[in-house]
Every structure is written in C-alpha cells, then in structure tokens.
Amino acid sequence: MKTALLTLDYINDIVAPQGRIARCAGHVAARGALAAANRGIALARERQWLVIHVKVGFSPSYVEMPQGSPIFSRAGQFQALNLQGEGTAFHPELDVRAEDAVVVKHRVSPFYATALEAVLRAHGIERLVVAGVSSTWAVQAAARDAHDRDYRVAVLEPACAAADEDEHRASMRQLAAIADIVSQEQLEAL
C-alpha cells in the first residue's frame, strides 16, 4: 500500500520551550515526541514512503489569519506563526531533508486550502501515517480529514503530544474509531 508519513507543526513557536505559543513544549519533551518522529521518518525513508512536513503560519501581515478564530486570533498580537520568522522554522532536532515535501497551512487542518491533497494524489498515496502536535488539534484534524477522503490512517502515538497527558490520551481514544493508533513497533509491522 502506497504510504506517506505526515508530520504536523513541529515548529519552534509550538514545540520549543522559548516558542511564542509553546503550550505543548513540555509534553513534547517529556514524551520524547521529536525523537519518536525521527524514528518514524527514518522508517519511512527506509521503506521509500513519501515524507511530508506540515507547518502552520501566516505572512507577516497575517492576512490569511481568520479574524474570528479563538485559536488563531491572538497570533498577530504575539507575533507568533510568522512565516518569515524563526518561529515557523522546523525544530532543529526534526530530520527534515531537501527531498521531503513541505506544506504550509493557515488553519488547523493540513488539507484546508493547501497543496497536500495534490501531493498525495501525485504519488498515489493510499495510507497516511500521522504524527505531530497537538494531538488535540492538528493530529485530530489531519486524521479526520484523511479518513473522510478515504485514506487509511495510522497515528504514530509516541510522536504526538498535547498540552498534557490527559488531553493526549483523550485524543487518542477518540481517534481510535477512525484510525489505527500505533507504536513504533506496530508501525514497523505495517
């Protein structure tokens, strides 16, 4: 089955302790989510799966930012998620390479108004392995939207994080209805 690994929002503003909206940074560190993501990326490359890194961000004018969104409306105020700043650079520990696809999103879902689906179709992808931050928002949105587009979905659980363990676990329980929640060992068996 043609598979792609999708990493979500492992950017400095979100996963680095000094990030402008680093609500999940402590949980990312405590779970070792970046190291788990890199193990998933290494396996994907070994299996010749497409690797796609997604980042959320806005131009410096924040023209793409939804003004009425509680989750995004304060980004401009904090100068967070500025695509021309270091905050939207992928965390330096994440193994991003020139041959990987990079998708920029302006909403929670990586499918909304992005090139993601075109990239997936161009490569004949049938299954998505999702990893990222936060389990509650980006991972949920990606898995749900992929499911509704008829992709098989697996969530690489050790590579996901949220604000805390309770929030993360609740998200994984919800996603289990539409996706396979997998460990590194289970990913290797796919």
Determine contact, residues 22/16, Cβ cutoff 8 Å: yes
Q: Give the separation between CA 127 and CA 146, rounded to whole angstroms.
A: 9
Q: What is the pLDDT of residue 32?
A: 98
183: CATH: 3.40.50.850
- Count: domains in the chain: 1
Domain residue limits at 138: 3-188
Position 102 scores a pLDDT of 98
Mean pLDDT of the chain: 96
Contacts of residue 104, defined as CB under 8 A and 6 or more positions apart, other chains included, come to 54, 55, 56, 57, 83, 114
pLDDT band at 74 (very low <50, low <70, confident <90, very high): confident
- Per-residue pLDDT, 70: 87
pLDDT in tens, 14-52: 999 999 999 999 999 999 999 999 999 999 999 999 999
Q: What is the pLDDT of residue 186?
A: 97
Among residues of the chain, what percentage have pLDDT more than 70? 100
